[in-house]
């Protein structure tokens, strides 16, 4: 086994061929008999040597499952029940466990979404990077380590000579993702499966990792399956794209064709997502909410998370607060709601001075300032029905009871495009998008003047998120409510904002109307942020990297 | 809310046996064929149609004593559980929601109490306190409340940190709405399960104390005390002591089955598939 | 800067944990002492009974130092404990230390063998349960675990005596041990209490071991190892074991603490001359100094095992061993 140095190479041009793949899993739901569900049904694909195929789809599309089937692996009890997976001309599903073990880590390697979890915390990085190469007898330890260091350099990791002697927790997320790519490349495989490798990263880090991965793929001429839910990302790295929905193939074609001339409706919807046209409104005379010179800190005054922040929100308009993790954008929301009293500064709301502490605010202040959360599932009490959830603010603020309340709940359900049939449902019986809609209805029930939306679409699939954004815009029109929209996603900002505040390390670095903020010249950070957002355009990555003036922030 | 048909067999058995024990406890004087202290035959007579379970070390009807024993066992264990529960849950919830110094102080005391094994601490205290049922209930209830405190504090703190509780606070809801309408319904199943486990623990604790001669004092006897009364028969091959012992085990297992069912119901309600 | 402090967070945490343990032990000694002071009425009176003459009671009070304030007596007691003097028993007037030492050894002997059997057994069974997860073996194991948490010790004990000692006559029903007893005979004498103790802790330890291993086996890095083509054995040895060791040690130590307490009832069932038997006898006789001493020793062992469990968890955490 140790001498299996030479890997079987075949003359054929096709590296991987998947025919009629069927993947099933057994679902154990309580109080029901276990039943089998089909996760992937009848998917076929062929991948030539050195090419990259992007697998794209929303959650539940089966894209990761297909990627892992190229390694003969089913995650968490998932079974490959039909079809063939031909790698280098052999059906790896027929080779038994031993055969699969020979393929994994030598012919096919895997890069996971969360490198932080995928590395063993107990071992040094280098030991893990060379492990597969040594296991499969692909050179001595010294050779493998040399290769690894060369890869660290190629992937532009700092201190390439020494980074291998660190432990996973001693390295940042973006770096760890690149180390994982080096780990996959270290055994010089024919194919790498990238499973959402940049999804968990901040946008300015993502672009670096993406560029590093792309260069590494090009220079080593390895083939790849690149799995992601983000069409703009996959457009940068892949030669071909396959669009999946509910475990079935929707469309498969060359990247440029899929992006620029999609054939199927579903693909068209995915491509045109975030292309909401939103006309910017002019600021009113008097702002609705005025934040002046807010400085805030957690744990006494030790760590200042907000410094001298001043922004205005105008009635019926949307202020988008953009920033990466750690920029202080969610803290700003906590200060405005009164959950975190600031150390300095003041907030005026509808011509009234807002008390810094939640407990000191009047009921009208609370009513007119509502909040919607990122995770709709935990923002609703799982023991209350939709009717109770939406009805409570009506009782609490307006004293509505009985039929009057129920009628209003029905109206609100209609407004969020769900209908009265949902009144008796529990949150667990709703889809992700429906949950967020109920949260919106709960906020609307209070007849607020301002709603704080904290990353309300970032946990949702693109099409669902699109629906939520459109709903919010529509509601703004006839309820005349203002939004403070917190997000890390610039595409969302462009779709809904009237004015924008860019935050970086607790400070507002750029602030103004949407056109002002998005018009050059930019400050260094805004430039970095704007240039890091993947555009749905082939060749965007190269030009973006070339045009950058500042190193990525969170790295 | 839930379908009777969906109750699994194991939970049915648990409910049935627990119910039987409770009925025996409630209606002992009508169910038991003989009096509690009435000597009706020979010492350790074998099982017969007259005495279904035979007689005990003094010639009393074992079945009757078992039925009266159920009353004492369940009464004392139940009272101790009720005490431990009201004490532990109220203080635990308060600590979690109020926080600050109150929390630190109470948690410190609980940590200290839990640093001594319950049985050992119980024995130390019983060495000086008068032996009666009130003492037993107090000692068992207070010692057992530390675990309830820990659990309720942890559960309440978890739920208190959830967004829906924050949403209620932002709405301006008062403390009682937050505790009783937002937190409690979500903690209920866990607390009910804990109630069951505390009851089992109390039954076992009481039985151990009585077996060691420090629990219920003669002529009354709980099941643990009956094991002690009849233990000398074992070496002669007389299994009388095993009957109350088995009853304790049976009661414990039945309650456990119910608890297990309550717990799976909780997880299935919240979880579903992602 | 970084180099100078390398490794120190672990030492600091361990030192903190041990210091906390010692503090806890002192606090516990106060609690145990206070617990024995809540006696309603007079200790001397209750020892001598109602018929005692006032002079006799006064003499005994003098002798017991009961005329001193409680805190004085506490410090005298703790001072004695720290120098190895546990005081005199009220009932026999003998030095407690002298009577207690051989019994302590007997208890440790019993606990040692129960641990020696139950630890490897529960880890192996835990591994089997993980290997055949949700299969019949796993279900049987968790069913047994569920049942055994509700079994009183004496039920297990008397079942063993009835069948293995009385009916089959393989082992003695009373576990007599004495000084100078041949080792093998001593072992034979404790077989039944060891079995009973093993059953008492096994299920719980097994269930917790299973959960600890499962937790590790479901980590993403195990999947990474699988996707590198490692064999199941390699995955377990190289990737699972280093991460599972701390939780398992933790589980084992917590159960050992549980076992030490379980000893009390088991010793009474098998009339084994250990600490538990000694404690129970003197609780019945209301011999406070003995109860205090034995209670403190049990608490010390319990706290000690808990410290070991926590320290093991700290030492095995790579994040603490290799700080940023």
Cβ-based contacts of A337 with chain B (< 8 Å): 170
Same domain, yes or no: A260 and A369: no
- Percent of chain A with pLDDT strictly greater than 90: 46
Amino acid B273: pLDDT: 25
**Residue B5's pLDDT band (cuts 50, 70, 90):** low
Strands (E), A134-288: 191-195, 223-228, 240-245, 248-254
Q: How many domains does chain A have?
A: 2
Please state the domain count of chain C. 1
Chain B positions in Cβ-Cβ contact with residue C293 (cut-off 8 Å): none
Interface contacts B/C by beta carbons within 8 Å: 157
Kindly state whether residue C184 falls inside one of the protein's structural domains.
Answer: yes
Where does the pLDDT of residue A301 fall: very low under 50, low under 70, confident under 90, or very high at 90 and above? low
C261, part of any domain: yes
The answer to whether residue C180 is domain-embedded is yes
Residue B187 has pLDDT above 80, yes or no: yes
Closest partner CB to A381 (pick from B186, B265, B269): B186
Interface contact flag, B245 C149, Cβ < 8 Å: no
Per-residue pLDDT band for B267 (boundaries 50, 70, 90) equals low
Residue A93 lies in a domain: yes
pLDDT at residue B272 above 50? no
What is the CATH classification number for the domain harbouring C260? 1.10.3720.10
Nearest to C318 among A106, A121, A135 (CB): A121
**Chain A residues near any Cβ of chain B (below 8 Å):** 27, 29-31, 337-339, 358, 361, 363, 366-367, 370-371, 373, 375, 378-384, 392-393, 396, 428, 442, 446
**Surface of A (511-530) touching C: CB under 8 A:** none
Cα A122 from Cα A125, distance rounded (Å): 10
Give me the domain span that covers residue A72: 15-271
Residues of B with CB below 8 A from A370's CB?
170
From chain A, the residues in CB contact with B182 under 8 A are: 381
How much is the pLDDT for A113? 86
Domain match, A362 and A230 both: no
CA distance B174 to chain A (A): 10
Minimal CA separation from C176 to chain A, in Å? 48
Task: Check pLDDT > 60 for residue A275.
Answer: yes
Least Cα separation, residue A508 to chain B (angstroms): 25
For A121, nearest residue in chain C (alpha carbons): C318
Q: How far is A363 from chain B (nearest CA, A)?
A: 7
Percent of chain B at pLDDT > 90 equals: 16
SS3 A483: strand
Query: What letters, b where the CB count within 10 A reaches 16 and e where it falls short, cover C213-237?
Result: beebbebbbbbbbbbbbbeeebbbe
Residues A146 and A29 in one domain: yes
Query: How many CB pairs (< 8 A) connect A and C?
Result: 73
Q: Which pLDDT score is estimated for C97?
A: 84
Q: Is C319 on the interface with A (CB under 8 A)?
A: yes
Averaged pLDDT score across all residues of chain A:
88
What pLDDT digit, counting tens, does each position of A280-294 carry?
Answer: 787 777 889 999 999
In a domain, C115, yes or no: yes
Residue B258: per-residue pLDDT: 87
Tell me: do A83 and A48 sit in the same domain. Answer: yes
Q: Which residue among C40, C162, C295 places its CB closest to the CB of B124?
A: C295
pLDDT value for A183: 94
What is the DSSP secondary-structure string of B106-127? HHHHHHHHHTS-HHHHHHHHHT
Cβ within 8 Å, pair C227-A131: no
Q: Do C150 and B204 touch (CB under 8 A)?
A: yes
Q: Contacts of residue A373 in chain B, CB cutoff 8 Å?
A: 163, 167
Best interface-test mutation with A: which of C218, C223, C225, C227 has the largest number of A CBs within 10 A?
C227
Q: Do B171 and A337 touch (CB under 8 A)?
A: no
**Is the domain of A446 the same as that of A370?**
yes
Q: Establish if A110 touches chain C: CB-CB under 8 angstroms.
A: yes
Q: Are A411 and A444 in contact (CB under 8 A)?
A: no
The stretch A539-550 carries a mean pLDDT of 78
Establish if C155 belongs to a structural domain. Answer: yes
- Per domain, the residue ranges of chain B are 72-273
Contact between B116 and C154 using a beta-carbon 8 Å cutoff: no
Separation of first and last alpha carbons in chain B? 23
Instruction: Determine the pLDDT at residue C41.
Output: 56
For A128, A159, B226, the CA distances from A150, given in Å and listed in that order, are 16, 11, 78
Closest in C150, C154, C159 to B256, CB measured:
C150
- Residue B3: the pLDDT is 55
Residue A420 has pLDDT above 90, yes or no: no
8 Å CB contact of A117 and C219: yes
Chain C contact set for B236 (CB, 8 A):
166
A129 with A266, same domain?
Answer: yes
Phi, psi of A85 (to 5 degrees): -120, 100
CB contact under 8 A, A132 and C228: yes
Co-location of A242 and A311 in the same domain: no
Its CATH architecture, for the domain B72-273, is Orthogonal Bundle (1.10)
Residues A334 and A206 in one domain: no
Mean pLDDT of A299-307: 77
Range of the domain at C245: 102-283
**Nearest partner of B240 among B52, B34, B46, judged by Cα:** B46
- Contact residues on chain A for B273, CB-CB shorter than 8 A: 27, 29
What's the per-residue H, E or C state across chain C? CCCCCCCHHHHHHHHHHHHHHHHHHHHHHHHHHHHCCCCCCCHHHHHHCCCCCHHHHHHHHHHHCCCCCHHHHHHHHHHHHHCCCCCECCCCCCEHHHHHHHHHHHHHHHHHHHHHHHHHHHHHHHHHHHHCCCCHHHHHHHHHHHHHCCCCHHHHHHHHHHHHHHHCCCCCCCCCCCCCCCHHHHHHHCHHHHHHHHHHHHHHHHHHHHHHHHHHHCCHHHHHHHHCCCCHHHHHHHHHHHHHHHHHHHHHHHHHHHHHHHHHHHHHHCCCCCHHHHHHHHHHCCCHHHHHHHHHHHHHHHHHHHHHHHHHHHHCCHHHHCCC
Give pLDDT, residue A254: 92
pLDDT digits (tens, 9 = 90+) for A136-160: 998 899 999 999 999 999 888 888 8
Residue of C nearest to A99 (CA): C229
Contacts of C251 by beta carbon, 8 Å cutoff, 6+ apart: C205, C208, C209, C212
Domain contains C136: yes
Tell me whether residues A132 and C219 touch, CB distance under 8 A: no
> Are A108 and A195 in a shared domain?
yes
Confidence grade of residue B66 (pLDDT, cut at 50, 70, 90): confident
pLDDT at A4 over 70: no
Distance from CA of B250 to the nearest CA of C (A): 8
Residues 199-238 of chain C with CB under 8 A from chain A are 219-221, 223-231, 234
CATH code of A251's domain: 3.40.50.300
User: Among A165-169, A274-278, B199-203, whose mean pLDDT is lowest?
Assistant: A274-278
- Over residues C130-171, the pLDDT tens digits come to 877 777 888 888 788 778 778 888 888 888 888 887 778 888
Q: How confident is the model over B18-32, as a mean pLDDT?
A: 84
Both A74 and A192 in a single domain?
yes
A103–chain C Cβ distance below 8 A for any pair: yes
* A43 in the same domain as A157: yes
Per-residue pLDDT of chain C (324 residues; tens, 9 = 90+): 334 344 467 888 888 889 988 998 999 898 888 877 766 556 666 666 667 778 877 887 777 667 777 788 888 888 888 888 877 777 777 888 888 888 899 999 999 999 999 999 988 888 888 877 777 888 888 788 778 778 888 888 888 888 887 778 888 777 777 777 788 878 888 888 999 999 888 888 888 888 888 888 888 999 999 999 998 888 888 898 888 888 888 888 888 888 888 888 999 988 888 888 889 988 888 888 888 889 899 889 888 888 888 888 888 777 777 776
Q: Tell me the average pLDDT across B224-232.
A: 86
Measured in angstroms, the CA of A128 and the nearest CA of chain C are apart by 9
CB contact under 8 A, C220 and A114: yes
CA closest to B260 among chain C residues: C146
Q: Which chains touch C (3 or more CB pairs under 8 A)?
A: A, B
**Are residues A436 and A373 part of one domain?**
yes
| Residue among A75, A132, A167 minimizing CB distance to C322 | A167
CA distance to partner chain A, nearest, from residue B130 (Å): 47
Element containing residue A453 per DSSP (H, E): strand A450-454
Interface contact flag, B186 A382, Cβ < 8 Å: yes
Distance from the B271 Cα atom to the nearest Cα atom in chain A, whole angstroms: 8
Write down which chains contact chain A via at least 3 CB pairs under 8 A: B, C
Confidence label for A390 from pLDDT (cuts 50, 70 and 90): very high
For residue A213, the surrounding DSSP H or E stretch is helix A203-220
Q: Are the Cβ atoms of A136 and C231 closer than 8 angstroms? A: no
Q: Which chain A positions have a beta carbon within 8 Å of B169's beta carbon?
A: 339, 358
């Amino acid at each position: 086994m140790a001498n299996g140095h030479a890997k079987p190479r075949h003359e054929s041009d096709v590296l991987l061929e998947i025919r009629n793949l069927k993947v099933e899993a057994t679902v154990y739901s309580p109080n029901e008999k276990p039943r089998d569900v089909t996760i992937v049904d009848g998917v076929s694909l062929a991948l030539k040597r050195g090419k990259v195929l992007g697998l794209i789809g929303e959650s539940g599309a089966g894209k990761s499952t297909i990627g892992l089937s190229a390694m003969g692996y089913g995650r968490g009890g998932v079974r490959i029940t039909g079809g063939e997976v031909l790698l280098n001309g052999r059906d790896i599903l027929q080779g038994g466990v031993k055969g699969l073990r020979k393929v994994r880590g030598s012919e096919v390697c895997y890069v996971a979404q969360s490198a932080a979890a995928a590395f063993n915390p107990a071992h040094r990085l280098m030991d893990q990077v060379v492990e597969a190469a040594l296991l499969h007898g692909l050179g001595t330890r010294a050779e493998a380590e040399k290769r690894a260091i060369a890869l660290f350099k190629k992937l532009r990791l700092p201190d390439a000579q020494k980074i291998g002697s660190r432990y996973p927790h001693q390295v940042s997320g973006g770096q760890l993702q690149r180390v994982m790519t080096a780990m996959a490349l270290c055994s010089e495989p024919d194919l790498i499966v990238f499973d959402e490798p940049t999804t968990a990263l901040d946008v300015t880090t993502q672009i670096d990792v993406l560029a590093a991965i792309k260069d590494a793929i090009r220079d080593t001429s390895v083939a790849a399956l690149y799995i992601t839910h983000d069409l703009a990302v996959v457009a940068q790295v892949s030669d071909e794209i396959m669009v999946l929905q509910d475990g079935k193939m929707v469309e498969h074609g060359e990247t440029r064709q899929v992006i620029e001339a999609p054939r199927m409706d579903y693909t068209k919807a995915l491509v045109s997502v975030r292309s909401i046209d939103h006309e910017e409104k002019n600021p009113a005379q008097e702002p609705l909410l005025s934040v002046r010179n807010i400085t805030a800190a957690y744990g006494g005054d030790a760590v200042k998370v907000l410094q001298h922040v001043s922004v205005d929100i105008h009635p019926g308009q949307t202020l988008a607060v953009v920033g990466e993790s750690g920029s202080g954008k969610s803290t700003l929301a906590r200060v405005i709601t009164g959950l975190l009293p600031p150390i300095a500064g003041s907030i005026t709301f509808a011509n009234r001075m807002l008390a810094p502490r939640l407990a000191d605010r009047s009921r009208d202040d609370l009513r007119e300032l509502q909040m919607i959360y990122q995770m709709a599932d935990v923002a609703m009490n799982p023991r209350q029905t939709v009717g109770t959830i939406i009805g409570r603010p009506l009782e609490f603020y307006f004293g509505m009871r009985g039929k009057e309340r129920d009628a209003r709940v029905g109206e609100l359900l209609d407004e969020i495009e769900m209908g009265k049939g949902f009144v008796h449902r529990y949150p667990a019986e709703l889809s992700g998008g429906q949950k967020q809609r109920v949260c919106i209805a709960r906020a609307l029930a209070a007849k607020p003047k301002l709603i704080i939306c904290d990353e309300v679409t970032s946990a949702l699939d693109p099409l669902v998120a699109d629906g939520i954004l459109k709903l919010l815009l529509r509601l703004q029109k006839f309820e005349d409510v203002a939004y403070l929209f917190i997000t890390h996603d610039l595409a969302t900002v462009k779709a809904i904002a009237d004015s924008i505040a860019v935050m970086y390390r607790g400070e507002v670095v750029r602030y103004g109307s949407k056109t002002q903020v998005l018009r050059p010249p930019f400050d260094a950070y805004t430039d970095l942020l704007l240039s890091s957002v993947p555009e749905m355009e082939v060749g965007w990555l190269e030009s973006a990297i070339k045009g950058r003036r500042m190193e990525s922030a969170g790295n | 809310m839930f379908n009777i048909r969906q109750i699994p067999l194991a939970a049915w058995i648990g409910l049935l046996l627990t119910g039987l024990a409770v009925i025996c406890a409630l209606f002992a004087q009508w169910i038991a064929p003989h009096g509690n202290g009435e000597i009706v035959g020979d010492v350790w007579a074998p099982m017969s149609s007259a005495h279904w379970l035979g007689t005990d070390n003094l010639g009393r009807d074992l079945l009757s004593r078992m039925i009266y024993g159920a009353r004492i066992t369940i009464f004392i264990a139940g009272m101790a559980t009720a005490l431990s529960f009201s004490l532990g849950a109220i203080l635990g919830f308060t600590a979690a929601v109020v926080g600050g110094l109150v929390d630190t102080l109470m948690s410190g005391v609980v940590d200290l109490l839990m640093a001594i094994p319950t049985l050992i601490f119980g024995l130390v205290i019983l060495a000086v306190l008068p032996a009666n049922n009130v003492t037993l209930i107090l000692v068992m209830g207070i010692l057992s409340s530390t675990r309830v405190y820990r659990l309720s504090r942890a559960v309440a703190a978890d739920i208190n940190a959830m967004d829906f509780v924050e949403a209620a606070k932002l709405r301006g809801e008062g403390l009682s709405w937050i505790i009783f309408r937002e937190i409690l319904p979500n903690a209920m199943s866990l607390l009910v399960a804990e109630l069951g486990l505390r009851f089992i623990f109390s039954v076992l604790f009481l039985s151990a104390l009585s077996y060691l001669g420090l629990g219920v004092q003669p002529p009354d006897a709980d099941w643990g005390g009956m094991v002690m009364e009849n233990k000398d028969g074992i070496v002669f091959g007389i299994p009388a002591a095993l009957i109350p012992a088995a009853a304790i085990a049976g009661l414990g297992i039945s309650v456990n089955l119910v608890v297990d069912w309550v717990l799976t119901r909780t997880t299935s309600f919240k979880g579903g598939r992602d | 800067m970084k180099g100078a402090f390398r490794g120190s967070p672990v030492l600091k945490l361990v030192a903190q944990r041990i210091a906390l343990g010692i503090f806890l032990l002192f606090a516990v000694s106060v609690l145990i002492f206070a617990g024995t002071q809540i006696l309603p009425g007079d200790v001397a009176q209750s020892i001598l009974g109602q018929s005692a003459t006032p002079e006799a009671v006064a003499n005994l009070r003098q002798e017991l130092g009961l005329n001193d304030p409680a805190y004085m007596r506490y410090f005298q007691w703790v001072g004695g404990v720290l120098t190895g003097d546990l005081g005199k028993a009220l009932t026999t007037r003998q030095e407690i230390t002298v009577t207690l030492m051989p019994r302590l050894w007997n208890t440790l002997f019993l606990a040692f063998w129960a641990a020696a059997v139950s630890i490897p057994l529960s880890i192996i069974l835990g591994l089997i349960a993980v290997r055949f997860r949700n299969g019949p073996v796993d279900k049987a194991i968790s069913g047994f675990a569920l049942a055994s948490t509700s079994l009183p010790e004496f039920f297990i004990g008397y079942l063993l005596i009835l069948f293995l000692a009385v009916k089959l006559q393989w082992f003695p029903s009373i576990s007599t041990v004495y000084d100078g007893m041949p080792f093998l005979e001593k072992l034979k004498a404790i077989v039944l209490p060891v079995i009973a103790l093993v059953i008492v802790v096994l299920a719980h330890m097994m269930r917790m071991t299973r959960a600890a291993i499962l937790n590790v086996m479901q980590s993403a890095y195990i999947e990474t190892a699988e996707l590198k083509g490692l064999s199941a054995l390699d995955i377990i040895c190289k990737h699972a074991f280093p991460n599972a060791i701390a939780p398992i040690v933790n589980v084992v130590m917590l159960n050992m603490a549980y076992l030490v307490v379980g000893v009390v009832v088991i010793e009474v069932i098998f009339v084994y001359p250990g600490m538990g038997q000694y404690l129970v006898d003197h609780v019945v006789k209301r011999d406070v100094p003995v109860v205090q001493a034995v209670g403190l020793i049990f608490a010390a062992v319990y706290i000690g095992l808990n410290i070991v469990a926590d320290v093991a968890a700290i030492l095995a955490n790579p994040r603490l061993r290799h700080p940023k």
